[in-house]
Amino acid sequence: MRGPGDVLYTAYERQLVKGLPGERLPRHVGLMLDGNRRWAKLRGENTEHGHRAGADNIEPLLTWCDELGIEVVTLWLLSTDNLKRSEVELKPLLEIIEDVVDGLAASGRRLNLVGALGLLPDATRARLQAAVEKTSDAEGLVVNIAVGYGGRQEIVDAFRAMLLDAAERGESLESLADRLTIENVGDYLYTKGQPDPDLVIRTSGEQRLGGFLLWQSAHSEFYFCEAFWPDFRRVDFLRAVRAYAERERRFGG
């Protein structure tokens, strides 16, 4: 049975959706799904419990994005720094991520892996790639799975790939330097061909990027939410989108 609070939240959500200007909604939303460990600690549970609770909140989030017609979502599930965690924590976290990606692939989502995949264990990388390949013909919302992702690493990888391409063509460094533009670099990023994120959301009250989409977020709007990721609700998401829609984007102008 639904309580009075549920009814009020539903009514409030409807009001929020009704007030969103369709022409000012973000095309690409990046999310830093933060706070799983602290959420678990507050409940006297282990870290794995927190990560699984966070994983359970991903499909609802994507449903909310579908409802608003958002085109691209980037989910930061594992950073390059996270790979330095102890085996006791990292192994179950990788298994949870594998399960999440398998589930999203089975749901018909169109998935894309972004990150330094070579840093992942071979078995994890193979399973993720196999799941993503199954979604190549899927339509609708594109979901970027950021695993083994770091913004600095992405930029280094982009320039490395650019230099290797130039060397393969026999192009000199001087020629490469002469034609180098911001657009050229964008062609070598993990998210090449996609719009840059309009809105970046971080949960758990932390107000820092931590290396997320450093290049792509130059003109993004940021929204920091106090809720830990497992507690992030549709109403929190709608508030973030409303805040974005109410801002005047200047793009440095």
To the query of whether residue 82 is one of the catalytic residues in this protein, the response is yes
Q: Within 13 Å and on the Cβ side, how many CA atoms surround 99?
A: 13
Q: What is the mean pLDDT of the chain?
A: 94
What is the per-residue pLDDT across 186-215, written as a single tens digit (0 to 9) for each? Answer: 999 999 999 999 999 999 999 999 999 999
Label residue 10 by pLDDT band (50, 70, 90): confident
Edge to edge, what strands does the sheet with 110-114 contain? Answer: 110-114, 142-149, 72-79, 28-32, 199-202, 221-224
Q: Could you say which of 57, 82, 157, 231 is catalytic?
A: 82
pTM: 0.94
User: Which of 34, 196, 198, 236 is flagged as catalytic?
Assistant: 34
Helix (H) or strand (E) holding 31: strand 28-32
What is the reported pLDDT for 218? 95
Lowest mean pLDDT among 8-12, 40-44, 51-55, 214-218: 8-12
Q: What angle is formed at CA 72 by the lines to CA 68 and CA 77, rounded to 5 degrees?
A: 110
34 noted as active-site residue: yes
- Average pLDDT, stretch 101-119? 95
Residues 64-91 have pLDDT tens digits of 999 999 999 999 999 999 999 999 999 9
pLDDT exceeds cutoff 70 at 253: no
